[in-house]
Amino acid sequence: VEQEHTMPNLDFGVCVSEPFTMDEALDVCAAIEEMGFDSLWITENVRSGPAELEPLITLAVFATRTRKVSLGPAVVILPLRNPVGLAHVGATLDRLSNGRFALGIGAGGESPQPFEAYGVPINERGRRCDEALEIIKRLWTEETVTYKGRYWSFDSYGLGLKPIKKPHPPIWFG
């Protein structure tokens, strides 16, 4: 009996992490799309020292020059971000890119330096991630949200701007 072998659908993406000028950023993202890659990611570096661009702002620039590739951060350090603000930025990026935004998130590394600089105890990072992820998903999918958690609490808050991608943009853990 002959078996049919099918190739799984594979996506190929590029992750960039260099500090760019505006012209370089636009050239890089256009070249990545022209080469046929499926996604374009930019790293977040919250350590002291290395010069790297803020990923979400950079993705907004990339959205202006691309039409096909998915765009996402690889990865934002979720415990260092306000989840309401991140939900709003993510919904905006999804709209500006016509549904091509993916949210890459992580809990952060073992170095206490960025957590200290951001005023977040490193031993809270896992619980903060859990709460933040729940808030983001709810804000993207519900009209209004009331949330009472250990780190964030608010009553009847809703994002007027919802993502295009339904039920919400993909969330990748890294």
pLDDT in the model for residue 174: 87
* Residues 113-170: tens digit of each pLDDT: 999 999 999 999 999 999 999 999 999 999 999 999 999 999 999 999 999 999 999 9
pLDDT in the model for residue 40: 95
C-alpha 113/C-alpha 93 separation (Å) is 29
Q: Which helix (H) or strand (E) holds 140?
A: helix 125-141
**Number of neighbours of residue 93 by Cβ within 10 angstroms:** 24
Q: Which helix (H) or strand (E) holds 139?
A: helix 125-141
**With bands split at pLDDT 50, 70 and 90, how would you rate the model's confidence at 9?**
confident
C-alpha 54/C-alpha 5 separation (Å) is 43
Contact 106, 72 (CB under 8 A): no
The one-letter amino acid at 32: I
Tokens of 37: 């890659």
C-alpha 151/C-alpha 102 separation (Å) is 25
DSSP letters spanning 5-60: --PPP---EEEE-----HHHHHHHHHHHHHTT-SEEEE----SSS-----HHHHHH
Q: For 157, phi and psi rounded to 5 degrees?
A: -110, 135
Tokens of 115: 């957590």
* Residues 20-51: tens digit of each pLDDT: 788 888 899 999 999 999 999 998 887 766 67
